Amino acid sequence: MSAIHEIPLNQPMADILSAVEADSGRFGLPAGDCLRMRLICEELLATLQDIITNTEM
């Protein structure tokens, strides 16, 4: 798993940026792409949780 996915978004920005830089080096991607992937995953997870919650009712 990537470093950025292990840090909650409510952590200090310095911690998040440090993880983004680590992933950037690890995966050979620009730091902005690593952060964008994290935010997309967070949004998809929230959407899936909403769908599951709404279908259980």
- Residue 1: per-residue pLDDT: 60
- Residue 39: per-residue pLDDT: 81
pLDDT beyond 70 at 37: yes
27 touches 2 (CB < 8 A): yes
Q: Would you say how long the chain is, in residues?
A: 57
pLDDT beyond 80 at 8: no
User: Mind giving me the DSSP string for the chain?
Assistant: --SGGGS-TTS-HHHHHHHHHHHHHHHT--HHHHHHHHHHHHHHHHHHHHHHHHHH-
What integer is the mean pLDDT of 38-52? Answer: 85
What integer is the mean pLDDT of 12-25? Answer: 79
Higher pLDDT, 49 or 25: 49
